[in-house]
Structure 1
Amino acid sequence: MKFRQPTAARRHHLQWTHHGGVYATYFVEPLDYGLRQPEDKFGVADSHESLVLNCPDDTLLLSLQAPLDLVDVMNRSLDQVDLQRTPDYIKETLEGYRRIAEIAPLTRIYTITFPINKSQLNGQEPSPREIAAQLAAADELLTVVDPEGDFNFRPVPEGLLPFIWNHNLMRGSALEHAPQDPANASPSTAPPTPFFHPGILDEGARTEKSFRRSFDPMLKAMVRLDDGHVINSYQAMLTPMSFQPAMAFPGHSEFLSVLDGIPDVSVDWAMRIRRRDRESAMKLNEKVLGKLGVQLGERDSDVGFHTQELRRKVDTLATYNDTLATNENAEEVEFTTVLAVGAPTQTDLTRCVGTLRKKYRRLGIRLDAPRGAQRKFWMLLNPGAPADSVYTDYQHITATPDWAGFVPFTTARLLDDTGPVIGVNLLSGLFEPLHFNFLNKARSDISPAIAIAGELGSGKSYFMKTLLSIVADLLGQFLVIDRSPAGEYTPMLDTIPGSVLISLDENPRFTLDSLRIFSDPHKARSITLDTILPLLNIPVVSSPGILLAEILQPEHRAAEELRSLADVRDYLARKASTGRGRDADDQHALVRAMDAVEAPVLFDRALPPMPLAATATVVRTHTLALPTVDELTLTHAYANLPWRKRLGHTLYELVALLAREQFLKPGRFGMFAIDEAYHLTATNVGKQIVEEFVRDGRKNEAGIALASHDPKADYATAAHNLVPNRFGFRQRNPVLAANEMEWLGVDIERDAYLIKQLRENTSPPVGRKETVAPNRRGECFIADGRGRIGRGKILGPAREDRARAVSTTPQQVMI
């Protein structure tokens, strides 16, 4: 059956229809939802209740699922990137584009359409005066509907209405791209304005079926494209026939949010709403209740199921009336909901409909596809469609607070709108790319600090190396402490020009002598005293400690030409051999302590100083013997530390101090990365350095990345409370899993099921060898800087050479 689309004329975001109505359509910015705290979700529900209380009758809420525009994804990945100076990042972005294309992510477009006025064009174009008047009326209505801008309504472009029409005709069979928001689209990338494709709707697909099956509850849409190709789309319009009597909010009432979590099923939805004031609704309820009472009286002596059904209706109506009676701000909402399912074949459609019904059956909601009403329901998904009695036949009635619990305009977005793509969003079910613009957060006065948690082999190091490769590609620099015996960060250096490997074993290639590294004599003195005195087990206020502080005064160093720690040692030895008294004893004590350390990385003057301008620096600490937490925190245990552990602890802190001086200054972005962070965060100096990076990194364009097995134990003070970007990978230990989820911001008592998800359904190892399937690697929970919590999958580098370097380790760590 041929039919006419409702639009007679369109100007800006206004639409004049053939039946004489004027409508205004806006993009809706969905509110953040996901796994947030209940108080945040109640705030979202309050915004929806305010919306429905102010919307005019016959307002249309619409949500379409469409393939994401991958060119737009790539443009967002290149936002604020110097394309002339970042060839490696451009290569990574292009390879990432191909990988995302294989994933085929989707998106949801949310719109709302308001009836504005009545205006009959009679085949003419709207005049400028008519357009101006209707635009003014639309603007006035908008200030009433969303006065605080909760949903950030934005006028749609003129081309959106043809897009919606064409999308509805080819639902489930064509791969059109989602239209860009005009606020973000550029003239060079904006697509040409589409037109309305003519189409044919065959209700029941009678053209290809026998008479007996010609009344199937479905549609077949046929569209002939410009090249002569015919697109066939098989569709079913489903509507909820019944809801559970009590759908608790939050957690059970959000029945539209489940549509994106069903694999291989693409569903659009539309909801038409009307409103009735509280007094009129209560009067009508009294009349209906009286009629039910009469029916019950007539059947008082009967015993049967119909009587029980009448009593249930009475109870339901009484409960609903109590809601209106006790809440003076509540009103009545009449809403009709249509779920539109599309597929390229009838077999696929049958499977999709069956899957959708099964999903909703578990929620206590019965879906049906009314026969004979499919085409009329299909029209509801087109803004400006005329009213039809079928919408009233299948409407439901509820109070505004209960309707607000549906929260139709929500999203599970995570991280940022622009920046490198590090993975895909799993919580939304649409696999949207996760942009993480951590390098530019400092320019927005947001800390670029990152913390990672998870068990061994869960993907922490893999993600850390992914972040560091992005830093290098975008002209930043990083220093990472590699504690692994196999040197899992070392292969990455081969893919990064200007990289340096620092080894702290008996045969180092560079020195960490701060007197040689820092040109500022005052800075060199302070860092040397902070590290060397604890290494030598000499108290700061002791006589040898004061003597060393005096020797390192800039004037004294210049006069005696003391350019290195080796020079200081030789100077003390000369003075001790010719001197007498207390000073000679202190000098002898310092020389003996320095010789006992046996640390060429500090005292070998032949080694070149560690380069501070290197793009990538990996400091290997696997040969260092490090003290335990108890040995660091208990005074008597620290005083008796063996030389080997004391040296390891000092070098660890020295590397952190060097990173602080290297990165916490204006200029080139720098990131300090610490895997197995407890070796640093367990010390007072380490805690201080972490806190400085977290608090002051945004001022100096510097970031810090921490990785740990137990964030509750290892991330103290600022690392636990102030790091805004948190990633939680698999943790099967129940205690550590609870610690990790609590650190992410989850209420572990109310949402205990998420702990089970982390333990059993986050990159789960399977089989005897406990290997993780390739498609399940990199899964994690994410808490971003906006307080949103969700689930994601880290993809890693897209470039083949970089991916091999990042993922290859002798231990074959599964991610």
Structure 2
Amino acid sequence: MKKAPTKALACNLLFTRHGTVWATWRLSPVAYGFAPAKRKKAVKIGHQALFQAVHGEALLFGLTADVDPASVVEQMLEGVDVSECDEWREEALLTLDALEDLRLGTRAWWFSVPLRLGPHSAWKEMARRTATEFGEAFGLAPWMPGQGEIDELLVQAAAIERSLPTMFNPRPATVAEHIWIGLHHQSRGLGLDRRIPSMSHGGDVQQEILQLGSVIPRVWLDEGAQTDLAEVPAAKRLGQNPFSRRYLKVAGGAAGETPSYQSLLAMTGTPRGGITFPGTEWLALADELDMDLDIALRMHIMPATAAKARNRKAENTINEQYNQRTDGGITGSSTELDATVEDLVLLQKALDRSDKETRVQVTAVLAVGADTADEVRAKTDRVKAFYNEFEFTFDPQLGLQEELWWAMQPGVPTSREVRALAQLTTGRDLAAAIPLASTDLGSQKGSILGMNVSSARRTPVFLDIEGSVLGNKSGSFAFCAESGAGKSYALKKIAGDVIDRGGRVFVLDHSDTKEWADFAGSVTDSVSLEVVNPSHSLDALRLFGPRDGGPILEAFFTTLLNIAPSDELGVALSEALDADYLHRNGIGSASELLEHLKSQDCPVAGAQSLARRMNGWARKGLGKVIFDPSLAPLPLDSDALVMCTRGCDLPTADELANAHLFRQLPVAKVFGRSVYALLARIAQYVCFKDIDQLALFIVDEAHHVTVSPETTGIVELFVREGRRSRAAIGLGSHDAALDFGNEAVRGLIPVRVVMRHTDPKLAARALEWIGLNHQDDSLVETVQGLSPMDESNRIVAGREGEGLMRDQAVRYGLIQVTRPGRQRRHEAIVSTPEAAA
């Protein structure tokens, strides 16, 4: 049974039994994945800066852990009063049940270096080591560092921290993280990890840990699991192949009575043709494996000046060997010597590029674990085969499993055996591995839009509309896809979540089946209105009163009657809808306004002409929603208002741009254009009025709204200013280049999702909209292949809801929109009875 190297913990300092003191920082991985080439280059430069920031020994390690489903549910419930949101509480509980069957995983990264205190550091390390050994031998009270020494070390650690790239947001590791790291290594592969401690600092636990001393328990390390052979008959034991037992059995400690079988694989070979970037990010590839794979880079970093001096000594040695060689054969030592010379030349060229460059000796170690020897062997074979495809060789070293196990942990000095496995490279070339790559998407809390399927590690993708607006950011989003790809499903799911969490929605529904009206009715006490066959009135004077309703009705009539605000009829309309004028004349509705304008006593110049035009629409069935006084005003306090616009045709872009075609617009298109603008203004009023409640304006088939400048302006207002009023807009349509408004609006939408587009031109335009290379054929094919259809023209089972997402932090990844936990909600969302079944 061996002791952990940790003697004492204080802040991010780890005092070891060997006398050294290590400082550790938690690093945040950065978005990579589908990032544009320019972003990928910036990420590589950030890694290069990390490997050039310190000199001497360093350890970079990334450890995997399961995500507790309960923590996911906590993120769903954060900020929600569950006592007022029964539906959301039920959804959270059903989500918890569903996540229990899924393997959710994450990876956290740390960077650790030993500290030195000038010329006296060796003496201090020896004194610490001696005090520890003496105290343990005679049963004395454990040695603990003094506060003065801690403060001195923290000053040095702070100086190192300032040299680390801010791209990775380095933060001193907490005592809790140190403990988690130690326990994780002891139970790797058993699924016993508790949640990785938060990135935020907790309470003051420094003195408590100092008094306790080491809190990492001891473990048995059994190379090759020799203790298991006791159960094997003697005859079979003699025939055991030692190469089949290249793993480590870790017993006791955090794992308790259940041993952890672990395989530690060290890199022993790289592509002979070299590593290309981008394309061979060999550490970023680790997340493509559907298993927990821990990573550690044990490094010795040397500045360029010292490395060049060492190269000159190596050059002299090689020259002597050249002079002494006698074998010139192809397979002899001369060939090996030539290869050494070639490597030395390449290293020298790399060091000559910059004075900041570093020479890095790196031992790369991968680790897998399981609860049986057979399973860990199977995992090892899969890891080796995976990396062999990229010409990287990782081998579980015979007899060195224990050495490599310790090498993955901070506080442990690099042994001679581990150093012998090191590969020689530079900071620039090692950066091409991109270890600190993240495929994280979405917010830290909110409603679950779906699962992140960018890698083999599944994590929920949260959409936090309210958190965005409260953070003074736009909460708006848009989905672009061809029909049947799943955008309407996603929009309905989001709308339902907003209502369940205490918000409200206003929807424009142009479907022939009034699908949004049916959906909203199954979610809450909604109000739906069919414009061409109305059950309520949209008369702005009756809805909002003269002060607020007058300008809205004026804008509606300006478009409907095709009059300019500055011409005679425009001036007349403005006078008639002036709030004071309406009050003086007791006008409280559009029908009363029409009767007033017809009166011979009306003092407004041009009133008769204005009334004649207005009366033409009042006599038509289309005008009923405005002029019929028998209809009750639309109740604006409902949690869901759905405006069904089927039958309201809209002009095309050509008809709006061509004066000749515009003059010949059919009545239905003239009315449709005007009523859409009216509905958009009503949505603005409803959503912007109550700043204490989140309001979401949903526009499915957004091209119906953005076809005219009047409605495009409302969309832009939601995107730009909605955050001030706790409001956001959700858009869905087919053509990202035409349907989401002008260039400014398209560029200001923070959250964007592209779902299936089989047409290559539309797929390319969608890629350009979300900020990816639309000329990349592989990306276009990715969009075309999302949620593929089978021979019967149905989406292949298990592939529903796939999309390429750009989140608010401008991170890219693949998602799969998931169905709600409640079956009744899923049935309400789907657009067809077949899909519900």
Query: Is 1:156 the counterpart of 2:178 in the alignment?
Result: no
Which residue of 124, 132, 149 maps to 1:133?
A: 149
Unaligned runs of 5+ in 2: 117-124
- 1:442-474 deviations in Å (ceiling 9; x for gaps): 221111111111111111111111111122122
Look up the match of 1:459: 486
Q: CA deviation at 1:7?
A: 2.3
Contact 1:483 1:621 in 2 (8 A): yes
Look up the match of 1:251: 278
Tell me how far apart the structure 1 counterparts of residues 110 and 721 of structure 2 sit (CA, whole Å): 41
Distance 1:441 1:220, change over 3 A: same
Contact 1:220 1:232 in 2 (8 A): no
Look up the match of 1:394: 421
Distance 1:776 1:586, change over 3 A: closer
Contact 1:56 1:115 in 2 (8 A): no
Which secondary structure does the structure 1 equivalent of 2:362 belong to? Answer: strand
Q: CA deviation at 1:691?
A: 1.0
Which residue of 283, 288, 291 maps to 2:314?
A: 288
Aligned length: 802
Q: CA deviation at 1:296?
A: 5.4
Look up the match of 1:672: 697
What amino acid maps onto 1:717 in structure 2? E
Distance 1:542 1:224, change over 3 A: same
Look up the match of 2:299: 273
Query: Is 1:516 the counterpart of 2:515 in the alignment?
Result: no
Contact 1:332 1:399 in 2 (8 A): yes
Tell me how far apart the structure 1 counterparts of residues 142 and 483 of structure 2 sit (CA, whole Å): 67
Tell me how far apart the structure 1 counterparts of residues 707 and 73 of structure 2 sit (CA, whole Å): 41
Look up the match of 2:221: 201
- Identify the range of structure 1 (779-788 vs 580-589) with the bigger mean alpha-carbon deviation: 580-589
Q: CA deviation at 1:798?
A: 2.2
Query: Is 1:650 the counterpart of 2:670 in the alignment?
Result: no
Query: Is 1:548 the counterpart of 2:573 in the alignment?
Result: yes
RMSD over aligned CA atoms reads 3.0
Look up the match of 2:590: 565
Which secondary structure does the structure 2 equivalent of 1:534 belong to? Answer: helix
What amino acid maps onto 2:150 in structure 1? Q
Query: Is 1:216 the counterpart of 2:244 in the alignment?
Result: yes
What amino acid maps onto 2:53 in structure 1? N
Which secondary structure does the structure 2 equivalent of 1:812 belong to? Answer: helix
Look up the match of 1:504: 531
Which residue of 387, 395, 416 maps to 1:368?
A: 395
**After superposition, where does 1:627-666 map in structure 2 within 5 Å?**
627-665=651-689, 666=691
Tell me how far apart the structure 2 counterparts of residues 330 and 771 of structure 1 sit (CA, whole Å): 55
Tell me how far apart the structure 1 counterparts of residues 802 and 605 of structure 2 sit (CA, whole Å): 66
What amino acid maps onto 1:219 in structure 2? Y
Tell me how far apart the structure 1 counterparts of residues 567 and 756 of structure 2 sit (CA, whole Å): 49
Look up the match of 2:378: 351
| TM-score relative to the length of structure 2 | 0.89
**After superposition, where does 1:583-662 map in structure 2 within 5 Å?**
584-596=608-620, 598-662=622-686
**After superposition, where does 1:521-540 map in structure 2 within 5 Å?**
521-540=546-565
- Identify the range of structure 1 (308-317 vs 400-409) with the bigger mean alpha-carbon deviation: 308-317
What amino acid maps onto 1:514 in structure 2? A
Look up the match of 2:83: 84
Query: Is 1:468 the counterpart of 2:487 in the alignment?
Result: no
Look up the match of 1:694: 719
| TM-score relative to the length of structure 1 | 0.91
Unaligned runs of 5+ in 1: none
Distance 1:294 1:620, change over 3 A: same
Q: CA deviation at 1:380?
A: 1.3
Q: CA deviation at 1:802?
A: 1.8
- 1:147-205 deviations in Å (ceiling 9; x for gaps): 46443333334344443333223222233233222626699xxxx99953443333223
- Identify the range of structure 1 (136-145 vs 584-593) with the bigger mean alpha-carbon deviation: 584-593
Q: CA deviation at 1:293?
A: 5.0
Query: Is 1:727 the counterpart of 2:753 in the alignment?
Result: yes
Distance 1:780 1:657, change over 3 A: same
What amino acid maps onto 1:740 in structure 2? A
Which secondary structure does the structure 1 equivalent of 2:446 belong to? Answer: strand
What amino acid maps onto 2:75 in structure 1? R
What amino acid maps onto 1:181 in structure 2? S
Which residue of 754, 766, 781 maps to 2:779?
A: 754
Q: CA deviation at 1:272?
A: 1.1
Distance 1:675 1:584, change over 3 A: closer
Look up the match of 1:416: 443
Q: CA deviation at 1:268?
A: 0.5
Tell me how far apart the structure 1 counterparts of residues 469 and 508 of structure 2 sit (CA, whole Å): 23
- Identify the range of structure 1 (553-562 vs 250-259) with the bigger mean alpha-carbon deviation: 553-562
Q: CA deviation at 1:580?
A: 14
Contact 2:51 2:427 in 1 (8 A): yes
Contact 2:11 2:172 in 1 (8 A): yes
Tell me how far apart the structure 1 counterparts of residues 201 and 826 of structure 2 sit (CA, whole Å): 32
Look up the match of 1:379: 406
Which residue of 800, 803, 807 maps to 2:823?
A: 800
Distance 1:588 1:579, change over 3 A: farther
Tell me how far apart the structure 1 counterparts of residues 796 and 373 of structure 2 sit (CA, whole Å): 33
Look up the match of 2:184: 167
Distance 1:610 1:305, change over 3 A: farther
Q: CA deviation at 1:327?
A: 2.0
Contact 1:544 1:590 in 2 (8 A): no
Distance 1:82 1:395, change over 3 A: same
Distance 1:138 1:654, change over 3 A: same
- 1:501-540 deviations in Å (ceiling 9; x for gaps): 111123x111111121112x14322221211232234444
Q: CA deviation at 1:596?
A: 4.2
Which secondary structure does the structure 2 equivalent of 1:137 belong to? Answer: helix
Query: Is 1:178 the counterpart of 2:195 in the alignment?
Result: yes
Which secondary structure does the structure 2 equivalent of 1:571 belong to? Answer: helix
Distance 1:690 1:222, change over 3 A: same
Identity of aligned residues (%): 26
Q: CA deviation at 1:735?
A: 0.6
Q: CA deviation at 1:130?
A: 2.4
Tell me how far apart the structure 2 counterparts of residues 326 and 300 of structure 1 sit (CA, whole Å): 35
Look up the match of 2:460: 433
